[in-house]
Amino acid sequence: MADKAHKRVKRELRRMTKRSRSQSMKERIQRINAYLRGWIGYYALSDADSVFKEIEGWLRHRLRACLWKQWKRPRTRLRELRALGLPE
């Protein structure tokens, strides 16, 4: 996979996961899935497993940042983390 294509997909995902963008996580993930399905379908035959894993880890970090931004107040963050099953 060309470096230019790798940068292009990261640029597009960065645009889709801006923290200031007001949309629900469900809608955000649906749009990302639609975009990545086409991109991965195109590069599926290439030897790009390491690139896919790197982008996946980077994207998960971006999505966690979006969630953290939505949970603005400390009380909300605590409640949501407890709901996810994290110990105090």
Q: Where are the domains of the chain?
A: 21-83
Report if pTM > 0.95: no
Sign of CA dihedral 69, 70, 73, 76: negative
- Report the C-alpha gap between 31 and 10 in whole angstroms: 14
User: What does the pLDDT look like over 4-39, one tens digit per residue?
Assistant: 988 999 999 999 999 888 889 999 999 999 999 998
Place of tokens 């099953």: 85
Report the Cα–Cα distance between both ends of the chain, in Å, rounded: 44
* Residue 20 DSSP one-character state: T
The predicted structure's pLDDT at residue 16: 93
Rounded mean pLDDT, 58-76: 93
